[in-house]
Structure 1
């Protein structure tokens, strides 16, 4: 995780800032062509509709279409299937704020700790985006709250850096370690303080003292 820049609160980029390739672009930042319904009919030369663009289910996961996903899973789709970027169906669902979809995938065997090539997990994506409900689904399914990703970043560090107090509390309640440091030697408390989230920083200092 890069050292926080001073002079104002950090603006969330469209990709996780530690590598800029950890998570897919969130739906509200997609272009019209990227966010279009892949099941919309598109005439071909012979008058037939084209195959859906999301045959592997990732667009279904992003939209939260649980009925369509049930059908794909019944047809034998692997619940841990990843796209060409190494993003799992569960990662897409969680990062797109689709807790019901995440729950469905987990029920069918999706691994809540499956990381992408950068080492980032679905839980880290939720903490980056501030998605407490999806994060809770993942934690209840056994997501590792102390997993480390790119540059030693943890879910707690993402939540602290972006001022997500509810997520900080949720993670601490489920055993997140506030003493962990990233590759630059920074704790979550130090990152929160650097971003001006002093209340969160103090909460983390107290948790560190009691660790």
Structure 2
């Protein structure tokens, strides 16, 4: 069975150092490995985590808008009255305007962004919005999973850093004690 080296979306798994002595047999490599772990935490995993957080936040803002638009299109598709409907529509967060919607509608206009609005037949608009909603929900789920995964990788690297640092301190203490004992033997 092949060893997993990344999550499903390609984020690499941080190595876990079980045996510090075997990982760093040469004491001179401790500082180098400490720097490597710190660099991986800061420039790799935390950067990816920040990007995932921004992406998830953007999706969390878009999903309610997509749902609201889909609900409106569903309402308009079920309407079977020839009588015009008077309603309020949102211009901005707290600004609404009155509108009169004609009886039967064959098409709706969807705002696609970047100053683009297109007319769609109602059924096609529903399909498009449902697809966009599913895609956004799936992407948000993946973003949240990736953020959790990244947090685990950061924790693994922080643990590695602490273990390497503690090993370095232990070796320095051991060397200091040996040097003190040699100094005592030399005096005696």
Which category of TM-score, normalised to the shorter sequence, fits these structures?
under 0.3
Judging by fraction of residues, say which structure has more helix.
2
TM-score by length of 2: 0.26
Report the TM-score when normalising by structure 1: 0.24
The structure with the greater share of residues assigned to strand is 2
Higher relative contact order (Cα pairs below 8 Å, separated by 6+ residues): 2
